[in-house]
Chain A
Amino acid sequence: MGTIEGTRLVRTWRNAALGRAHPAARIFVVVMFVAFAAPFVPLVVASFSFRWHWPDLAPTQWLWDVRGTTPFPVGWDYLFSPASQLGAAFANTVAIGVVVAIVALIVGVPAAHVLARYDFRGKGLAEFFLLLPIIVPQISIGIGMLLLFMRLGLFRTYPGIVLAHLVPALPYAVRILTAVFQNLDPGYEEAARTLGANRLARLRHVTLPLIARGMATAGLFAFLISSNIFLLTFLMSGGRIATLPTMLFSHIESGGPLDATTAGLVLIVSLPGLFFLLIADRASELSLTVKPPPDGRRMESSP
């Protein structure tokens, strides 16, 4: 894995901000960047502060001023101590997210293929049901699933949480993949057929490589959705399985001022998404040096 410097995402932003872009576009990019990055600044400061009350612009007491004098560790010290169980929550979040992404792809690729390529009775209904979890509030779905899962013995289990996460994650993955298949000329598979490729060979050598980038995007979305879910995890885990969002909510539910520990936790919760975005960005750049084919475009003459 190379440096983050080299990824397409970073280059895109840097080029947009510093490159030869139109001045208006540059201003826009800078404003966007500030809008997204600005909220993190007080978070970072707060995560190192022991006492920071309104209207002070800076903390009046920093963590390192009181280190060792408190009865138990606070802030980063607490988060990285075994007592916080941050490691377990982090591992749970990533593991559940990865499994959700994989299952979403395994189910989503064939489903999207059918939705994009074939007309069948009840197709509209199938599409509607795929949208439903996005329309219906998660709490309704969650309570319903909870009652069901309790009977099925899936309550407080990892499979239960993964299944619950798939409800909002799968529709997104399928929608992305459907668009991917709609943009994939069926001619590639036909050409492969005439060249002697059977179903499995076509899938392996033609279809999958051509949709790899779309699959990376869909998987990333599924992962990001999963790693952000609080409510469904909260309901299904019964307090037994903690992920980063449930851990965070347990810290802020008291409603007090943002303490250093919570601020640090918020920062950590943001990590998996950012990390995977960069990985996916890098991976898609490495594995697919593919330009879109010149389909539908009139071809230029060759020398």
Chain B
Amino acid sequence: MSSITLTGITKSYDGPPVVRDLNLHVETGTVFGLLGPSGCGKTTTLKMIAGLLEPDAGDIRFDGASVRTVPPERRRIGMVFQQPLLFPHMNVEQNVGFGLRMQGVRPGDALPRVRECLAMVQLERFARRYPHQLSGGQQQRVALARAVVTDPVVLLLDEPLSNLDTGLREQMRRLIRQVQERLGITTIFVTHDQDEASELSDCMAVMLDGSLAQTGRPIELFMRPETVAVARFLGSTNLLSGRLRAPGLLETLIGPLATSCTDPAEPGRPVTASIRWEHLTIAGKPAEPAGSGRATNSFRAVIRDVVFGPGRIRYTVEVDGVPLVAATPIEHEYRRGETIEVRIAPQRVRVLPGEDRPD
């Protein structure tokens, strides 16, 4: 097991860099989730760590020792790709044993370890099958067993679940976590699915346009995004462009908005308020006539759309012509067209520098 450190990694194919001055550190034995939209350079980064691609600049170190000149076949990594990529002319046992065979281990000596790894992914009974006789999920489990059979120091997972059906994904996620915990192997997990990243990772990073926009524990990223781009990518939040009028007070499209967030202190600066869906609360019918002596951060709104989902109801409400989303527990159902009052606790208003520029 070893830690992984990337410093100043840059890579371009033809044209602008796909990965720009990327710095990253993964602690020994932890799972690091690299989350980003397609085309953000996350797979390129993973392939550079594997050695399958060469960075233009920067250094990659395992436990402090540079591996830049080490070819992938000697980096002691295990990798699972988006496709299982099992060798079709070998059966499951031969596929899993391939890494050991490459190390010169005789088939007889390799067998116990191969069986052990197959047991880890619960496929002992399929040892003699050929890849085409397995389902997609089973194939991906064999690929996982194959990747860890040689006790690699680093496990790299490149969207291993993206081709699986939803139910199967859950199962595979648990399996990956189990295998990782059992082996205690340093793991980097690339995905575009935030549920996957937040469930599997000890630490994760949002990667946008070739560099890490923010790194932290999953819950930190969701609760305290640092830029509009991160908040926008993680989603489930209302973004309101505005200006800082005074410390703790914003002027936004829907009117003045109080916030306990005092970070950007200079008034007049363009900012964006981020209010998570579940923090926009619906306070029932407006008590007093509009405009007169409203409570702090209380707005008159009209329900425009109601979507029922497991565990919550999602309302699209309109405040002064601005659509906002509120996610509430399933307690009371408001109907489309109803006029209600919404409230936002000042401590739930996160202020991010810059304007929200939808792309």
Q: Bound state CA distance, A74 and B147, in angstroms?
A: 69
Q: Bound state CA distance, A289 and B135, in angstroms?
A: 18
Q: Bound state CA distance, A37 and B49, in angstroms?
A: 60
Report yes or no: B79 in contact with A201, Cβ–Cβ below 8 A: no
Report yes or no: A300 in contact with B88, Cβ–Cβ below 8 A: no
Task: Give the chain B neighbours of A195 by CB distance below 8 A.
Answer: 73, 78, 98-99, 102, 146-147, 150
Report yes or no: A210 in contact with B89, Cβ–Cβ below 8 A: yes
Q: Bound state CA distance, A205 and B147, in angstroms?
A: 17
Least distance between B131 CB and chain A CB atoms (Å): 7
Q: CB-nearest residue of chain B relative to A194?
A: B79
Report yes or no: B136 in contact with A302, Cβ–Cβ below 8 A: yes
B167 within 8 A of A: yes
A-B contact count (CB 8 A): 115
Task: Give the chain B neighbours of A197 by CB distance below 8 A.
Answer: 73, 98, 102
Stretch from A16-24, A86-94, A184-192, A219-227 contacting the other chain = A184-192
B86 within 8 A of A: yes
A198 within 8 A of B: yes
Report yes or no: B83 in contact with A187, Cβ–Cβ below 8 A: yes
B120 within 8 A of A: no
A298 within 8 A of B: yes
Q: Which residues in window 2-23 of B have CB below 8 A to A? A: none
Report yes or no: B165 in contact with A194, Cβ–Cβ below 8 A: no
Least distance between A290 CB and chain B CB atoms (Å): 5
Q: Bound state CA distance, A296 and B137, in angstroms?
A: 14
- Identify whether the interface residues of A are mostly helix, strand, loop, or mixed: loop
Task: Give the chain A neighbours of B262 by CB distance below 8 A.
Answer: none
Pick from B87, B132, B138: contact of A291, CB below 8 A.
Answer: B132
A294 within 8 A of B: yes
Least distance between B69 CB and chain A CB atoms (Å): 15
A301 within 8 A of B: yes
Task: Give the chain A neighbours of B137 by CB distance below 8 A.
Answer: 299, 301-302
Q: Known contacts A295-B83, A299-B164; is A194 also within 8 Å of B72 by CB?
A: yes
Task: Give the chain A neighbours of B150 by CB distance below 8 A.
Answer: 195-196
Report yes or no: B52 in contact with A190, Cβ–Cβ below 8 A: yes
A293 within 8 A of B: yes
Report yes or no: A194 in contact with B102, Cβ–Cβ below 8 A: no
Q: Known contacts A196-B74, A301-B167; is A291 also within 8 Å of B88 by CB?
A: yes
Q: Which residues in window 277-303 of A have CB below 8 A to B? A: 288-296, 298-303
Q: CB-nearest residue of chain B relative to A201?
A: B102
A193 within 8 A of B: yes
Interface size on A, residues (CB 8 A): 32
Task: Give the chain A neighbours of B75 by CB distance below 8 A.
Answer: 194
A131 within 8 A of B: no
* B interface footprint on A194-214 (CB within 8 Å = 1, 0 otherwise): 111110010001100110000
Task: Give the chain B neighbours of A206 by CB distance below 8 A.
Answer: 87
Report yes or no: B87 in contact with A188, Cβ–Cβ below 8 A: yes
Report yes or no: B102 in contact with A300, Cβ–Cβ below 8 A: no
Q: Which residues in window 61-110 of A have CB below 8 A to B? A: none
Q: CB-nearest residue of chain A relative to B137?
A: A302
Report yes or no: B99 in contact with A196, Cβ–Cβ below 8 A: yes
B292 within 8 A of A: no
Task: Give the chain B neighbours of A300 by CB distance below 8 A.
Answer: 135-136, 165
Q: Known contacts A299-B135, A302-B168; is A194 also within 8 Å of B89 by CB?
A: no
Report yes or no: A198 in contact with B88, Cβ–Cβ below 8 A: no
B219 within 8 A of A: no
Task: Give the chain A neighbours of B146 by CB distance below 8 A.
Answer: 195
Task: Give the chain B neighbours of A196 by CB distance below 8 A.
Answer: 73-74, 99, 102-103, 150
Report yes or no: A191 in contact with B81, Cβ–Cβ below 8 A: yes
Q: CB-nearest residue of chain A relative to B156?
A: A194
* A interface footprint on B52-68 (CB within 8 Å = 1, 0 otherwise): 10000000000000000
Q: CB-nearest residue of chain B relative to A197?
A: B102
Least distance between B25 CB and chain A CB atoms (Å): 22
Least distance between A106 CB and chain B CB atoms (Å): 22
B316 within 8 A of A: no
Q: Bound state CA distance, A290 and B78, in angstroms?
A: 25
> Looking at A188, A194, A196, A301, which has the most chain B CB atoms within 10 Å of its CB?
A194
Q: Bound state CA distance, A210 and B89, in angstroms?
A: 7
B contact set with A: CB distance below 8 Å: 50-52, 71-75, 77-79, 81, 83-89, 98-99, 101-103, 130-132, 134-140, 143, 146-147, 150, 156, 163-165, 167-168
CB-CB nearest 7 A-B residue pairs: A299-B136, A302-B135, A291-B132, A302-B137, A196-B102, A195-B99, A194-B79
Selected A-B contacts with CB under 8 Å, 20 pairs = A187-B81, A187-B85, A188-B85, A193-B73, A194-B72, A194-B156, A195-B98, A196-B74, A196-B150, A205-B87, A209-B89, A210-B87, A210-B89, A290-B89, A291-B88, A293-B85, A299-B136, A299-B163, A299-B168, A301-B167
